[in-house]
């Protein structure tokens, strides 16, 4: 087994905390991602409060606020979306810059010692301390702490403490909100915000910005209090306003050793949640309420909210601190990203931790995130995620029309903010159509877990039919093969482009058709519903399902002769057949070392593709078939998509490949902490974090739904003493704890539930111990 200890470890291991000791400017951008905070409504990278002239990626994100950056350039393809939606770096609200003897603190220009940064995942805050000697010789000690409130989700607070170590005199704090920020991911170096209004008073300041397109307004406000050695001090603030910038300058006379504390209460209030007219007064109100409550009380409430989250969400792992820390980091970030409360919102691949992928909704939501929220937060959150797509069905039908489809066929966008496609690579926009299948699969998955078949009538079937219509039009009959084929697609493995007969896409297309036909049978007897539904969707049940059945029977799947090996696509066996082990490590990650054409024609797989299909449709394949495909594909997979390793954990666990499962588990769980793909600086892989959760629950825990019953086939990695997690299953909350000898099931709800363990049914009421 590849020992974890031989791998890169920048952060200290701890079950509940991420700790960085020492100041590493070259790691700053990565650490800014790792130590990000969020509360579902907004997020903030771990940028420094003070100036920092070293490499940094500033990021303050407000949920639901985005920018349609134009994508038209010389090499346009007909049919491209006009814009790529960008998550917006909004006004910098954290700014607090100590100024001593006319020098502004900037760690890039200081001697720094005793630097320590800690993300407390249990209580949801970031703390940082260090000593710095500035260029003018002044030494100070700084201790800062901040959180984004999980209770009042538009508010945040910072406590920033400075102790002059060799200096007496005036200490100034430049407390600012700066809207003149850049967006790294801008296609045209454009600034996305313009100023609406601003106001500065003695100890408070407000800045309202609007986006240059779509007219989103965000008012950012701050209120600043100062203390010296525990005593509140009043101060006369110089106020400064310049374009898109407001400031309260706090000046405190101090002696060497004095503890000077600035509290900053900040808010981000957005027009997607409030009327534009009231934005400023809403911000004032929120700032006042925070200040009145005070930092300590706000903090207590915030910690209590996190405690409630953890009660339901936590996965404990005994005996492997690295694994424990990692799974909590993943769960922590998922909770910071999406709470499921606001049906307008969804889950961006980077959450609130970076600009990449534009903050839009991808198939990640359905394929990876849905199970986590469904099984920890409950079915209403899962249903919100389904309804998000249902509400966008008209746009998906429009999108398909633009591409030449008709009669109600829907192609959901690869990435969207409002239902419109806003990706910007033709290979993905036009060809990565398997996403449509994942959206259909999520409906099945939801109903399979919740038993809530009524959702078919509430929107599910309408989506299924529209997607089935798309598949039926997208395949074509090959007279040469005498089969239906699907040409010119890109599968989940994005290291291929424009391939024919991607096995996964063909499979999920066929599955959609089959499931839609089954779903029709379930609701067709409700004559009222059915006649309304048929009219609304203009559905020719006999004609359309006849064609679908024909496609189901006659669609082509590439397969290696005389074997059980399904081929990722036509022609796959023509590639140079080498494994990742044979690849010079200096060439990895290949997406940073190789030109695109070389990647495309190589055998190396970015993420599970055939295996993704076997994960979704496991029941269709014998263990022997899965094993043959796993043994072939896994060694050729570079896992340069964050969404890859988790699927391999689940399959490897099923196949009893414990070492492989554990290796893949660390890779998914510690993907960002150990930065396997050298890209943590761009933000965290939020949606894949749900895959990490899946890896424990469905991989080691072997959780499945078997004929409507919750079932487990637990295994446990060698070094682990035990692990445990909770699941919401229909009316019950179940806790399972696995160690090398026993499996303990607890039904935390009233009543009794039948659960399968290793295929044997147990009626669980209260606590039940099963020997392994």
Set 20, 49, 366, 494: catalytic member: 494
- Measure the CA angle with vertex 336, ends 330 and 339; round to 5°: 110
Shortest distance, position 570 Cβ to its own copies, whole Å: 6
Helix (H, G, I), strand (E, B) or coil at 364: helix
CA distance 305 to 302: 5
User: How many angstroms separate the CA atoms of 660 and 421, rounded?
Assistant: 37
- 310 CB-near residues (< 8 Å, 6+ apart): 122
Q: DSSP characters for 621-687?
A: S-HHHHHHHHHHHGGGB---STTSHHHHHHHHHHTT-HHHHHHHHHHHHTTTTTTTTS-GGG---HH
Closest to its own copies by CB, 24 vs 477, is 477
* DSSP assigned state of 339: -
What's the min distance (Å) between Cβ of 527 and its own copies? 39
Tokens of residue 71, six digits: 């994508």
688 neighbors 639 (Cβ within 8 angstroms): no
Kindly state the smallest distance separating residue 481's Cβ from its own copies, in Å: 6
- State the nearest-atom distance from the C-beta of 580 to its own copies, in Å: 17
User: Torsion angle of alpha carbons 278, 279, 284, 286, nearest 10°?
Assistant: 100
The residue among 441, 450, 587 whose CA lies nearest residue 519 is 441
Q: What CA–CA distances, in Å, run from 597 to 590, 593, 608, 625? A: 11, 12, 20, 31
Cα distance from N-terminal residue to C-terminal residue, the chain? 23
User: Cβ atoms within 10 A of the Cβ of 257, count?
Assistant: 13
Nearer to its own copies, 129 or 478 (CB): 478
Q: How far is the CB of 148 from its own copies (least distance, A)?
A: 27
Is the Cβ of residue 401 or residue 534 nearer to its own copies in the bound state? Answer: 401
Reply yes or no on whether 494 is catalytic: yes
Contacts to its own copies by CB under 8 A: 69, 71, 73-75, 77-80, 84, 185, 187-188, 402-404, 424-426, 430-431, 476-481, 485, 487-488, 497-501, 570-571, 573-577, 591-601
User: Looking at beta carbons only, is 188 or 622 nearer to its own copies?
Assistant: 188
Closest CB to its own copies among 430 and 515?
Answer: 430
Helix (H, G, I), strand (E, B) or coil at 486: coil
Closest among 88, 105, 87 to 96, alpha carbons compared: 105
**Cis preceding linkage at 377, omega within 30:** no
40: left (phi over 0), alpha (psi -120 to 50) or beta: left
Handedness of CA 171, 172, 175, 176 (dihedral sign): negative
**Least distance (Å) between residue 47 CB and its own copies:** 22
402/536 with CB nearer its own copies: 402
Rank residues 403 and 655 by Cβ distance to its own copies and give the closer one.
Answer: 403
Please check whether residue 181 is in contact with residue 194, taking contact to mean a CB–CB distance below 8 angstroms: no
Residue 228 or 483 with smaller CB distance to its own copies: 483
Distance CA 647, CA 692 (A): 9
Could you write out the DSSP letters of every residue in 10-58? -SBP-SSEEEEES--GGGHHHHHHHT-EE-SSEEE----SSB--SS---
Minimum Å distance from CB 554 to its own copies?
Answer: 14
Burial class of residue 644, CB neighbours in 10 A (0-12, 13-18, 19+)? buried
Handedness of CA 571, 572, 577, 583 (dihedral sign): positive
- Report, in Å, the least distance between residue 491 CB and its own copies: 13
Q: Give the shortest CB-188-to-its own copies separation in angstroms.
A: 6
Structure tokens at 572: 């796959």
d(CA 233, CA 170): 13
We find the least distance from the C-beta atom of residue 730 to its own copies, in angstroms, to be 42
CB atoms within 10 A of CB 538: 8
Q: Report the residue number, 115 or 594, with the smaller CB distance to its own copies.
A: 594
Closest CB 183 distance from its own copies, rounded Å: 11
- Where b means 16+ CB within 10 Å and e means fewer, 702-724 reads bbbeeeeebbbbbbbbeebebbb
Enzyme catalytic residues: 494
């Amino acid at each position: 087994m590849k020992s974890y200890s031989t791998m890169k470890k920048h952060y200290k291991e701890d079950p509940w905390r991420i700790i960085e000791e020492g100041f590493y400017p070259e790691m700053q951008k990565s650490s800014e991602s790792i130590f990000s905070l969020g509360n579902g409504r907004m997020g903030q990278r771990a940028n420094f409060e003070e100036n920092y002239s070293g490499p940094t990626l500033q990021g303050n994100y407000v949920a639901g606020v985005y920018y349609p950056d134009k994508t038209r350039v010389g090499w346009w393809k007909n049919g491209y979306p006009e814009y790529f939606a960008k998550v917006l770096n909004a006004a910098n609200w954290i700014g607090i810059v100590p100024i001593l003897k006319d020098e502004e603190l900037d760690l890039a220009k200081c001697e720094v010692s005793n630097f320590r940064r800690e993300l407390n995942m249990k209580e949801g805050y970031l703390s940082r301390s260090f000593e710095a000697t500035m260029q003018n010789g002044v030494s100070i000690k700084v201790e800062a702490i901040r959180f984004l409130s999980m209770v009042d989700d538009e508010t945040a607070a910072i406590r920033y403490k400075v102790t002059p170590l060799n200096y007496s005199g005036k200490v100034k704090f430049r407390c600012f909100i700066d809207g003149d920020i850049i967006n790294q991911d801008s296609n045209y170096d454009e600034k996305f915000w313009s100023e609406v209004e601003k106001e500065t008073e003695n100890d408070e300041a407000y800045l309202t910005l609007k986006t240059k397109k779509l007219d989103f307004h965000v008012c950012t406000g701050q209120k600043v209090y100062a203390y010296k050695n525990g005593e509140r001090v009043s101060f006369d603030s110089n106020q400064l306003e310049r374009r898109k910038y407001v400031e309260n300058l706090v000046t405190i006379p101090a002696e060497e050793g004095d503890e000077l504390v600035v509290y900053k209460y900040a808010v981000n209030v957005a027009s997607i949640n409030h009327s534009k007219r009231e934005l400023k007064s809403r911000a004032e109100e929120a700032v006042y309420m925070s200040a009145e409550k005070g930092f300590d009380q706000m903090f207590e409430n915030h910690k209590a909210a996190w405690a409630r989250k953890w009660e339901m969400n936590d996965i404990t792992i005994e005996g492997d601190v690295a694994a424990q820390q990692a799974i909590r980091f993943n769960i922590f970030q998922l909770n910071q990203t999406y709470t499921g409360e606001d049906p307008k919102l969804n889950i961006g691949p980077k959450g609130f931790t970076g600009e990449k992928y534009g903050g839009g909704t991808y198939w990640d939501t359905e394929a990876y995130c849905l199970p986590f929220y469904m099984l920890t937060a409950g079915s209403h959150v899962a249903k919100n995620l389904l309804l998000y797509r249902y509400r966008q069905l008209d746009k998906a039908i429009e999108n398909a029309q633009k591409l030449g489809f008709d009669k109600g066929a829907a192609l959901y966008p690869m990435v969207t903010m409002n239902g419109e496609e806003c990706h910007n690579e033709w290979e993905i926009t036009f060809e990565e159509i398997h996403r449509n299948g994942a959206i259909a699969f999520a409906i099945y998955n939801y109903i399979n877990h919740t038993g809530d078949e009524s959702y078919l009538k509430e929107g599910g079937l309408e989506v299924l039919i529209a997607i089935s219509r798309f598949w039926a039009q997208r395949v074509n009959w090959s007279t040469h093969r005498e089969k239906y084929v699907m040409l010119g697609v890109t599968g989940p493995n994005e290291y291929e482009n424009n391939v024919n007969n991607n096995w996964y896409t063909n499979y999920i297309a066929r599955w959609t058709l089959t499931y839609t036909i089954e779903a029709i049978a379930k609701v067709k007897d409700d004559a009222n519903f059915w006649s309304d539904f048929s009219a609304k969707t203009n559905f020719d049940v006999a004609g359309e399902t006849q064609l679908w059945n024909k496609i189901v029977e006659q669609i082509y799947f590439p397969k290696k002769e005389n074997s059980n090996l399904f081929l990722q696509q036509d022609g796959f066996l023509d590639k140079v057949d080498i494994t990742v082990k044979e690849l010079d490590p200096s060439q990895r990650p290949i997406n940073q070392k190789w030109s695109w054409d070389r990647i495309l024609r190589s055998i190396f797989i970015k993420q599970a593709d055939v295996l993704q299909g076997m994960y979704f449709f496991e029941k269709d394949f014998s263990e022997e078939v899965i094993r043959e495909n796993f043994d072939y594909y896994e060694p050729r997979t570079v896992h340069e998509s964050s969404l890859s390793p988790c699927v391999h954990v689940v399959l490897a666990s099923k196949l009893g490949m414990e070492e492989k499962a554990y290796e893949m588990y660390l890779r998914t769980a510690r993907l960002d902490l150990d930065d396997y793909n050298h890209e943590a600086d761009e933000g965290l892989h939020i949606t894949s974090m749900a895959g990490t959760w899946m890896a424990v629950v469905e991989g080691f825990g072997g959780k499945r739904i078997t004929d409507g019953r919750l079932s487990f086939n637990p295994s446990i990695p060698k070094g682990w003493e035990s692990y445990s997690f909770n699941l919401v299953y229909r009316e019950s909350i179940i806790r399972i704890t696995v160690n090398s000898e026993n499996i303990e099931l607890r039904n935390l709800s009233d009543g009794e539930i039948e659960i399968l363990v290793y295929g044997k049914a147990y009626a669980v009421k209260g606590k039940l111990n099963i020997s392994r």
